[in-house]
Structure 1
Amino acid sequence: MELPVVHYSKSEYIETDTGNKVSRKSVICGSQNIVLGGKTILQTGSVIRGDLKRSGASNFVVVSAGRYCFLSQSCIIRPPCKAHKGAFNYFPVKIGDYVFIGESSIVQAAQIGSCVSIGKNCVIGKFTIIKDCVRIEDNTVIPPNSIIPPFSVYRGSPGKMVDELPESIREIYEARCKDRYTKFVPSVDA
């Protein structure tokens, strides 16, 4: 399926030296604790909570995203948290390369591998580990502490494995993410 060209207002987005395109209408808390690998797009209303970090930790990477990631409108990335020995702590989120997160999805995973597609309106529970080459269908709820195996398709509430992906999915996701980035272009103002 051919992806359409998406035009955006150049005044609404900031483009970094590494090619990241960040909407001025996104919410980035604790930017000093967030690392974007390059050519990542944060759309309007997307939220990344880098301010939620381990108590006492300084210069601590809370959220790291690889290259060619796409955070759709109104999605939320926040670190997983838990109380341990009477102290409440947050733990880092690591997102691989070529990851798509759909509209209005909430992610509190500990790790998302490379070549992962998360649909819209999904909830990814605390400390979930999503391996490489996975598709999470729209409206899926992944319970906390889940481990999603590679080359799997999950759907439902709670999410269950419903299919397997072919080994060629890595190349397909990489090509789709690169295509999505090249087709996200500034509009020509009249």
Structure 2
Amino acid sequence: MVVPQVKPLSPGEVLGCTSPVIEGADALVFIADGRFHLESAMIMNPNLKAYRYDPYPKLLTLEKYDLPQMMAIRRAAIDEARGAKNFGVVLGTLGRQGNPLILDHVKQLLEQSGKTYFVLLMSELFPDKLARFKDVDAWIQIACPRLSIDWGYAFPKPLLTAYEAEVCFERTRWREGSYPMDFYAKGSGPWTNYHDRKK
């Protein structure tokens, strides 16, 4: 048995946007009464069988996640955003989700790519609120990556994560068959909170 860790999180700790890569295992067992955090581990480890033990009804279930469908939806949003000229950038103000350093990086990407943009501070993102901005061709949100992954289809214009913006502007390659769930992980890309920006 292995209790995996992605630093700076504690061993066994998983967030909805941050999970460890699990090596040397055939399956993962997740103890929780919901799926949200488990889905993060399933996205990060698509080749492992995933079991969820819910301690309240004392049930062990085999869980599934349609990674190919999610990847196709996200790739389509990136491809649509490639043709965008005007971007809205949302910096989340709920808790510690919005990071000004990631915002600075995204602004730099947009400026280097010759795109126009504005920054909008929001505690929560709703499709009807963003739909009011008629001149925006695509959005980049710096809050919770799962907003785009889970609910991006509900927004009238593409709603990219910072990772997807990196892919859109060809600074990072698209990862076929896997999607980074590393928003709070150390040692990952410039779309993450703990990226070493001095490099």
Give the TM-score normalised by the residue count of structure 1: 0.25
- Greater C-alpha Rg: 2
In proportion to residue count, which structure has more strand?
1
| Structure with a larger share of its residues in helix | 2
TM-score normalised over the length of structure 2: 0.25
Structure with the bigger RCO (C-alpha within 8 Å, sep 6+) is 2
